[in-house]
């Protein structure tokens, strides 16, 4: 959601910014823009446009930008105001001294706008961001002959103190080539340190080819960047000695590597991701979760677990409830993060809150975590992105290390979250002496074998593609599952709707007769998740109820199940595994069905409309 990149250095800024914007495309956006400082005229040269980055590239090709080594750029995901050229970033103040890019939401923008208008500022866009440019512009008026970097820093400092909400900002001044100011509250922003050049960005993939040295700016911090140095300070003006991290991202991780889409590549990466998780987390038959920072005694003392997450991560949390309760005998509640925060949650001593998030930047989950912390909870995060806001906010962290997920639809991050929840449940069950050691060993063996089973499913993906294409014309889908695969049904529906725009609902199969059955007719496709399980017979009854109402059934069943063929015209088989582990296997055909339907319908698989990879606004 909104991507920022900025540059000060000794090279041309525009090509760098354009290339960086392309690396941030995965975050989701609907317009983009670049603004640079023309050192000769002490003015800005700006290009903005709605739609894809390719449009911006074409615009710059037909109307080249001037030479400059100072600039900021942005991909905008519209919140305040339609995705038009005028509303695209960067935004300039009335006197055309200040240029700003912003990620987040300024909650008090209306009152600020009124005050600024009454003082003569003229607004041209509908955005909240424009107030930031105007506000900084109001405080920035050095005489043109003596403008100093500190003047811009001071103006930004005065402005940010008045802003409420979440923001990551990149700011440049027309009369100060070679100076860039950044500030952050709530929205992610990193600084890249180079030799004779410095960068700001929303995320590592935008700049990792230019530097591996990164500062993760913290909430309430700002930075002054010049080609030679970076100074970090608090909003109060105190100097800060920032921690410099070294990132270890390989170029392969952010390229399609011959796959048609990132989503397909990431689906194929799953066996390797899970294999690595097993190898690094299971030693001599025991689960080792070093990041958990809890002793066996503390794990024993846990009375209740509260899971908070959004979207796909929430579905992983729902599976987590089934497995933690059955293996560790701890009651678990699962909340959508945006609801948790406002429901006055009750938190007792010895409750553990687990926050699950791929990006670690989801504003709703961060807000839920802050709420839980304020109520005295200990937070354990399950997160993919190292150094993210969630990782810093949590008391303990379990990284899934699934590598960058570029496709907007979560695939490998989801199965890595599930896998981590299995490992955590086993660890909890063993530490609390609630888990039969024989069952523990069987499940560990099953988990070890999952990557091999994934490879088998992937080798048969042609038949899944065939079934998906044969059903891609349906105007709506229902996904049904029971027990531990009820969340799988929700996830299957989410995956399909987000990348193919087909209305799809997930339901607990037992609930079908309480309402959704009214929808069943020959125009409705129903995906019935029916692996070997204690509720298998009940699923078969559901399938019959659907068939007798002419619904089109696509079943997901276990290898060797010949009965199901009599009831369902399309069957996708998954290999045999422990019943408790089936959500891990079911996930794969659900991802592939969504993928092939999306491709068949000509949708933008990796960047579906209206969606953002990292949802940094509440």
To the query of whether residue 2 is one of the catalytic residues in this protein, the response is yes
Please name which of 434, 426, 512, 525 lies closest in space to residue 472, comparing C-alpha atoms. Answer: 525
Nearest alpha-carbon partner for 328 in 417, 443, 416: 443
Binding site for ligand F6R (CB under 6 A): 310-313, 357-359, 362, 365, 409-410, 494, 498, 615
Q: How far is the CB of 424 from ligand F6R (least distance, A)?
A: 17
Closest contact distance (angstroms) between CB of 614 and ligand F6R is 6
Could you give the C-alpha distances from 231 to 9, 240, 242, in angstroms and in order?
Answer: 15, 8, 9
Cβ proximity to ligand F6R, 359 vs 558, nearer residue = 359
Give the CB-nearest residue to ligand F6R: 311
- 78 phi and psi, to 5 degrees? -60, 130
Of 22, 48, 52, 613, which is the active-site residue?
613
d(CA 192, CA 214): 5
Distance CA 49, CA 548 (A): 53
- Per 3-state DSSP, what percentage of the chain is helix, strand, and coil (rounded to 5)? 40, 25, 35
Nearer of residues 28 and 33 to ligand F6R, judged by Cβ: 28
Angle at 341 between CA 339 and CA 344, to 5 degrees: 100
To ligand F6R, the closest distance from the beta carbon of 337 in angstroms equals 8
Does the active-site annotation cover 300?
no
Sort residue 42 into left (φ over 0), alpha (ψ -120 to 50) or beta.
left
Smallest separation, CB 560 to ligand F6R (Å): 31
Compare residues 311 and 506 and give the one whose CB is closer to ligand F6R: 311
State the minimum distance, in angstroms, from the CB of residue 285 to ligand F6R. 31
Closer to ligand F6R at the Cβ: 282 or 386?
Answer: 386
Question: Distances from the Cα of 124 to the Cαs of 88, 93, 168, 263, in angstroms?
Answer: 11, 10, 22, 39
Minimum CB distance to ligand F6R, residue 434 (Å) = 29
Q: Are 133 and 91 a contacting pair, CB within 8 Å?
A: yes
Q: Where are the beta strands (DSSP E) in 119-275?
A: 165-173, 180-185, 190-193, 198-201, 213-216, 221-225, 230-234, 239-240, 245-246
In this complex, which beta carbon is closest to ligand F6R, that of residue 59 or of residue 274? Answer: 274
Coil, strand or helix at 606: coil
Catalytic residue among 2, 310, 383, 528: 2
- Residues marked as catalytic: 2, 613
């Amino acid at each position: 959601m909104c991507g920022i990149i900025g540059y000060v250095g000794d090279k041309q800024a525009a090509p760098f910014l354009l290339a960086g914007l392309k690396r941030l495309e995965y975050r989701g956006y609907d317009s983009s823009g670049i603004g640079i400082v023309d050192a000769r005229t002490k003015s800005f040269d700006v290009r903005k446009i709605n739609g894809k980055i390719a449009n911006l590239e074409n615009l710059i090709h037909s109307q080249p930008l001037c030479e400059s080594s100072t600039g900021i750029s942005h991909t905008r995901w519209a919140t305040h105001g339609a995705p038009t050229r005028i509303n695209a970033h960067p935004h300039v103040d009335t006197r055309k001294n200040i240029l700003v890019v912003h990620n987040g939401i300024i909650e008090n923008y209306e009152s600020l706008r009124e005050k600024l208008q009454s003082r003569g500022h003229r607004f041209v866009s509908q955005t909240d961001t424009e107030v930031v440019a105007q506000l900084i512009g109001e405080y920035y008026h050095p005489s043109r002959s003596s403008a100093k970097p500190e003047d811009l820093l001071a103006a930004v400092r005065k402005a940010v103190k008045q802003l409420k909400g979440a923001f990551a900002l990149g700011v440049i001044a027309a009369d100060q080539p070679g100076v860039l100011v950044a500030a952050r509250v709530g929205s992610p922003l990193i600084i890249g340190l180079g030799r004779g050049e410095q960068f700001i960005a929303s995320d590592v993939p935008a700049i990792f080819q230019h530097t591996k040295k990164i500062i993760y700016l913290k909430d309430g911090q700002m930075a002054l960047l010049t080609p030679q140095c970076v100074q970090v300070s608090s909003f109060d003006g105190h100097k800060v000695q920032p921690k410099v991290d070294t990132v270890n991202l390989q170029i392969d991780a952010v390229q399609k590597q011959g796959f048609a889409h990132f989503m397909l590549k990431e689906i194929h990466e799953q066996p390797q991701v899970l294999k690595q998780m097993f190898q690094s987390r299971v030693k001599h038959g025991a689960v080792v979760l070093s990041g958990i920072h809890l002793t066996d005694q503390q794990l024993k003392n846990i009375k209740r677990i509260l899971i908070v997450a959004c979207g796909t991560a929430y579905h992983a949390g729902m599976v987590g409830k089934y497995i933690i309760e059955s293996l560790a005998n701890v009651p678990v509640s699962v909340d959508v993060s945006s609801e948790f925060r406002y429901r006055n949650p009750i938190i007792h001593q010895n409750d553990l809150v687990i926050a699950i998030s791929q990006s670690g930047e989801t504003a709703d989950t961060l807000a839920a975590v802050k709420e839980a912390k304020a109520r005295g909870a200990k937070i354990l995060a399950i997160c993919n992105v190292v150094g993210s806001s969630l990782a810093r906010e949590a008391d303990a962290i379990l990284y899934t290390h699934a590598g960058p997920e570029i496709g907007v639809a979560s695939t490998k991050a989801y199965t890595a979250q599930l896998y981590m929840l299995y490992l955590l449940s086993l660890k909890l069950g063993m530490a609390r002496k609630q888990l039969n050691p024989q069952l523990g060993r069987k499940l560990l063996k099953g988990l070890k074998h999952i990557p091999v089973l994934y490879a088998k499913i992937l080798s048969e993906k042609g038949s899944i593609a065939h079934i998906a294409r044969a059903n891609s014309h349906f105007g709506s889908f229902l996904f049904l599952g029971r027990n531990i695969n009820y969340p799988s049904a929700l996830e299957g529906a989410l995956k399909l709707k987000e990348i193919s725009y087909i209305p799809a609902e997930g339901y607990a199969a037992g609930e079908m007769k309480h309402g959704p059955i009214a929808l069943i007719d020959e125009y409705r496709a129903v995906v019935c998740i029916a692996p070997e399980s204690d509720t298998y017979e009940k699923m078969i009854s559901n399938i019959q109820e659907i068939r007798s109402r002419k619904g089109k059934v696509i079943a997901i069943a276990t290898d060797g199940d010949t009965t199901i063929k009599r009831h369902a015209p399309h069957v996708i088989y998954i290999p045999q595994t422990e019943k408790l582990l089936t959500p891990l296997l079911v996930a794969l055909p659900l991802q592939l069905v969504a993928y092939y339907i999306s491709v068949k319908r000509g949708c933008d698989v990796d960047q579906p409309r209206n969606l953002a990879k990292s949802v940094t606004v509440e």
